[in-house]
């Protein structure tokens, strides 16, 4: 862990999603294997975990050897469609989420910041009972995906809501570049000294370090 400055109040928590807020490792793996298997692409669970886990979909499919962009996009969409079939393997990091809820009750802000697909994040959060943001953009700017109002009612998200979501589609340079974290800090008007990041993967931890914020390494 890189500690935050003790003289500065933390106002913003930034959470990676897969492997940090939620244990989605097996669900992601099985969804990819199912999508590939339907089209005759051989890949075992062990091979995926050892060689590709944690990569963005485009990078994974390219390294796997699928050169056709249209075929990669078809497989990406098919994986998203199949993903909910494996949600019985997803687990919420309840201690971390309980901490975030307490932080929110004291006026803090909590965002999910992930290189994953927004559709996948929304689907898993809905399954877990966590909602997205419901407040409109405070300065009348056109809303970004991260600020998009959740269509879920409060009864549909019994475990509360995050204040924003920044996904892989929202940023040009993915982790380990710190851009995703810095962008949320900009939107929230917070400095790195006022921000605390929770990450699990080496590239995410490196992005957190480069952002200048304090960070915790999460192990599920």
8 Å CB contact between 23 and 220:
yes
pLDDT at residue 135, as a whole number: 55
Does 57 reside within a domain?
yes
pLDDT at residue 8, as a whole number: 75
Does 3 reside within a domain?
no
pLDDT at residue 120, as a whole number: 86
Q: How confident is the model at residue 35 (pLDDT cuts 50, 70, 90)?
A: very high
Structure tokens at 22: 């939620």
Does 161 reside within a domain?
yes
Residues 102 and 205 grouped into a single domain: yes
Helix (H) or strand (E) run with residue 92 in it: strand 91-92
Does 138 reside within a domain?
yes
**More confident site: 135 or 64:** 64
Does 31 reside within a domain?
yes
**More confident site: 148 or 138:** 148
Give the residue from 72, 88, 104 where a domain finishes.
88
* Cα–Cα distance, 146 to 191 (Å, whole number): 19
Residues 78 and 96 grouped into a single domain: no
68-81 confidence digits (pLDDT tens): 999 999 999 999 99
**More confident site: 220 or 167:** 167
Pairing between β-strand 91-92 and β-strand 22-23 as defined by DSSP bridges: antiparallel
Q: How confident is the model at residue 138 (pLDDT cuts 50, 70, 90)?
A: very low
Residues 120 and 193 grouped into a single domain: yes
2-25 confidence digits (pLDDT tens): 555 556 799 999 999 999 999 999
Does 6 reside within a domain?
no
Does 2 reside within a domain?
no
Residues forming beta bridges with residue 217, ordered by sequence position: 199
Contacts of 186 (CB under 8 A, 6+ apart): none
Residues 160 and 115 grouped into a single domain: yes
Give the residue from 88, 107, 133 where a domain finishes.
88
Residues 76 and 149 grouped into a single domain: no
Q: How confident is the model at residue 132 (pLDDT cuts 50, 70, 90)?
A: very high
Structure tokens at 75: 């497989």
pLDDT beyond 50 at 100: yes
Residues 161 and 204 grouped into a single domain: yes
Q: How confident is the model at residue 150 (pLDDT cuts 50, 70, 90)?
A: low
Residue 42: give the domain boundaries.
Answer: 25-88
With CA atoms as reference, report the closest residue to 197 among 55, 2, 48.
2
Residues 96 and 190 grouped into a single domain: yes
Q: Tokens 């485009």 — which residue?
A: 58
Residues 204 and 97 grouped into a single domain: yes
Residues 136 and 161 grouped into a single domain: yes
pLDDT at residue 55, as a whole number: 79
pTM, to two decimals: 0.82
Residue 147, domain CATH: 3.40.50.1000
Looking at the 3D structure of the chain, how many domains does it have? 2
Q: How far is CA 54 from the centre of its chain?
A: 11
Does 5 reside within a domain?
no
Residue 63, domain CATH: 1.10.150
Tell me what the mean pLDDT of segment 132-152 comes to.
54
């Amino acid at each position: 862990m890189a500690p935050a400055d003790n003289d500065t109040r933390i106002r913003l928590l930034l959470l990676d999603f897969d492997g940090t807020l939620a244990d989605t490792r097996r669900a992601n793996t099985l969804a990819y294997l199912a999508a590939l298997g339907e089209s005759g692409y051989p890949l075992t669970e062990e091979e995926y975990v050892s060689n590709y886990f944690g990569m963005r979909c485009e990078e994974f499919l390219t390294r796997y050897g699928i050169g056709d962009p249209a075929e990669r996009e078809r497989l990406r969409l098919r994986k998203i469609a199949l993903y909910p079939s494996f949600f019985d393997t997803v687990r919420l990091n309840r201690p971390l989420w309980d901490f975030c809820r307490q932080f929110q009750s004291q006026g803090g802000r909590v965002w999910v910041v992930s290189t994953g697909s927004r559709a996948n994040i929304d689907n898993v959060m809905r399954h877990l009972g966590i909602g997205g943001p419901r407040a409109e953009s405070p300065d009348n700017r056109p809303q970004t995906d991260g600020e998009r109002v959740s269509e879920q009612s409060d009864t549909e998200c019994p475990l509360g809501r995050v204040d924003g979501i920044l996904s892989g589609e929202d940023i040009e340079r993915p982790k380990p570049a710190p851009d995703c974290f810095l962008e949320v800090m900009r939107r929230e008007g917070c400095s790195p000294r006022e921000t605390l990041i929770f990450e699990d993967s080496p590239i995410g931890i490196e992005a957190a370090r480069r952002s200048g914020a304090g960070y915790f390494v999460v192990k599920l």
